[in-house]
């Protein structure tokens, strides 16, 4: 096969259709061609056997493009080595820590930089920190930094307890109507805590213990169990509006009971710290000192050096599926953030064309910062019941930015003997899959 001339195809996205753009090039053995790689990382995936003993199923992503392979298996599960408890911060559309861990283990070594341009609660960068890698995170929403930073510097339980004792619980009611969520005494505690945290922040006197408390309190504002400050509502990352909560209260015939906010913060602190080993703690602290947590648009990240990132693991917003603004209004209020302003910065593309334009620019920026020999793992979920296969749209975007497309990995989590498990086009709804396009930058 040495020095053989092949035709290879470069997918190009054009008016919702793929057109195949044929170019002649030379392939030397298993050396990567520009655009598509038929070997490399795919070989690792092809040789994988799942915990259930199932080998990886390999097929072309598209019948007209046999060089680009799709690898399907249960590459990771939530049952595999439990994720660290430090991840247990809820965030809309977050992925499981096992996903970034899979790529971090295979494609990086200690000290390498791992990046997430759409960082959310920080799953990728916290996982990178736990395993001794350095990290860079970026997100358009400043809540992302608030939810991520303190977990690089987890405090002692006693320090949190002592700090909370110094914060008064009494205050006047909120300047907005929160009576549908909170008992009046709970509300006073929340207002008091909010005022304390905002004042410390404004005076640049908020230390990591304060930031930890802000993160945990933000996470406990609303939820569906007595472990949260509010009466029963939707999960904490999907705060409903005041009117919707009134409707929930009528339907459930409920009024908010008193919740001890300090006790709830301490319980959640204990739970977040419960599995952290001294080594993990050391790794997190070390990574935290070198970590950059950026708040901005991932299309322009001048703070990140050229050719510096070994691996990006990320999951962008999928069209307009998740309403990050509506979901986060109460969290923004608690942290003194303007949710409308933030909402305007978040990419909400209605069409695949608009989404591709934004993601194309993101890929150009990723190409600039990726180290030669480095990788990008770009996860897209299932959109509109699989009527839109975003993974297929992602392939040409990465290639036109300069990357080699290694393959598409499908992590398929629920298999049954009777379902057509490898007929992934025919997946039963409810099947939980991650669809990840893997790119590399030529060394």
Ligand X SMILES: C[S@@+](CC[C@H](N)C(=O)[O-])C[C@H]1O[C@@H](n2cnc3c(N)ncnc32)[C@H](O)[C@@H]1O
d(CA 219, CA 121): 11
Q: How many chain residues are in contact with ligand X, going by CB under 6 A?
A: 21
CB nearer ligand X, residue 173 or residue 296: 296
Of the ranges 25-33, 89-97, 125-133, 426-434, which one interacts with ligand X (CB under 6 A)? 89-97
Given candidates 74, 112, 127, 139, which one binds ligand X under the rule CB under 6 A? 139
Binding mask 308-337 for ligand X (x = CB under 6 A): -------xxx------x-------------
User: Does residue 343 bind ligand X (CB under 6 A)?
Assistant: no
Nearest approach, Cβ of residue 381 and ligand X (Å): 8
Closest to ligand X by CB, 379 vs 392, is 379
- The reply on whether position 120 binds ligand X by CB under 6 A is yes
Residue 91 lies near ligand X (rule: CB under 6 A): yes
Q: Indicate whether 95 belongs to the interface with ligand X (CB under 6 A).
A: yes
- Nearest CB to ligand X, comparing residues 54 and 322: 322
Q: Does 298 bind ligand X (CB under 6 A)?
A: yes
- Please select the residue that binds ligand X; options are 9, 144, 245, 412, rule is CB under 6 A: 144
Please give the residue whose beta carbon sits closest to ligand X in the complex. Answer: 120
Instruction: Please say which residue, 9 or 370, places its beta carbon nearer to ligand X.
Output: 370
Shortest Å distance, C-beta 62 to ligand X: 25
Stretch that binds ligand X, among 103-111, 139-147, 279-287, 424-432 (CB under 6 A): 139-147
Assess 382 for contact with ligand X (CB under 6 A). Answer: no
The verdict on 424 binding ligand X (CB under 6 A) reads no
Q: Smallest distance, Å, CB 314 to ligand X? A: 7
Answer yes or no whether residue 118 interacts with ligand X by CB under 6 A: yes
Interface residues with ligand X (CB under 6 A)? Answer: 91, 93-95, 118, 120-121, 123, 138-141, 144, 297-298, 315-317, 324, 346-347
């Amino acid at each position: 096969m040495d020095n053989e001339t092949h035709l290879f195809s470069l997918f190009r996205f054009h008016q919702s259709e793929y057109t195949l753009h044929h170019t002649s090039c030379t392939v030397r053995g298993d050396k990567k061609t520009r655009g598509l790689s038929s070997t490399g990382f795919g070989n690792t995936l092809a040789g994988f056997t799942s915990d259930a003993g199932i080998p990886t199923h390999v097929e072309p992503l598209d019948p007209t493009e046999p060089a680009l392979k799709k690898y399907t298996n249960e590459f990771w599960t939530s049952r595999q080595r439990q994720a660290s408890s430090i991840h247990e911060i809820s965030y809309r559309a977050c992925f499981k820590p096992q996903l970034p861990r899979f790529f971090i283990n295979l494609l990086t070594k200690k000290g390498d930089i791992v990046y997430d341009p759409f960082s959310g609660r920080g799953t990728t960068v916290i996982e990178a920190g736990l395993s001794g890698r350095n990290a860079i995170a970026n997100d358009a929403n400043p809540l992302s930094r608030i939810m991520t930073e303190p977990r690089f510097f987890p405090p002692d339980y006693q320090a949190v307890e002592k700090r909370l004792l110094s914060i008064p619980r009494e205050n006047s009611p909120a300047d907005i109507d929160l009576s549908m969520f909170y008992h009046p005494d709970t509300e006073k505690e929340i207002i008091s805590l909010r005022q304390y945290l905002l004042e410390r922040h404004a005076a640049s006197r908020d230390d990591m213990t304060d930031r930890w408390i802000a993160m945990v309190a933000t996470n406990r504002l609303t939820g569906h169990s007595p472990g949260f400050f509010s009466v029963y509502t939707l999960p904490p990352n999907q705060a409903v509006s005041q009117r919707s909560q009134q409707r929930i209260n009528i339907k459930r015939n409920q009024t908010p009971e008193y919740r001890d906010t300090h006790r709830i913060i301490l319980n959640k602190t204990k739970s977040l710290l419960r599995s952290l080993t001294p080594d993990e703690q050391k790794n997190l602290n070390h990574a935290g000192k070198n970590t950059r947590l950026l708040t901005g648009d991932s299309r322009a990240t001048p703070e990140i050096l050229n050719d510096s990132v070994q691996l990006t693991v990320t999951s962008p917003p999928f069209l307009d599926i998740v309403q990050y603004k509506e979901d986060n209004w109460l969290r923004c209020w608690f942290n003194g953030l303007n949710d409308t302003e933030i909402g305007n910065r978040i990419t909400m593309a209605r069409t695949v064309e608009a989404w591709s334009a934004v993601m194309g620019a993101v890929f150009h920026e990723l190409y600039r910062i990726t180290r030669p020999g480095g990788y990008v793992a770009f996860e897209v979920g299932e959109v509109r019941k699989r009527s839109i296969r975003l993974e297929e749209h992602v392939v040409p975007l990465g290639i036109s930015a300069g990357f080699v497309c290694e393959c598409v990995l499908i992590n398929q989590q629920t298999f049954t003997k009777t379902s057509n498990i490898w007929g992934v086009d025919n997946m039963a709804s409810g099947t939980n899959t991650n669809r990840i396009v893997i790119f590399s930058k030529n060394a």
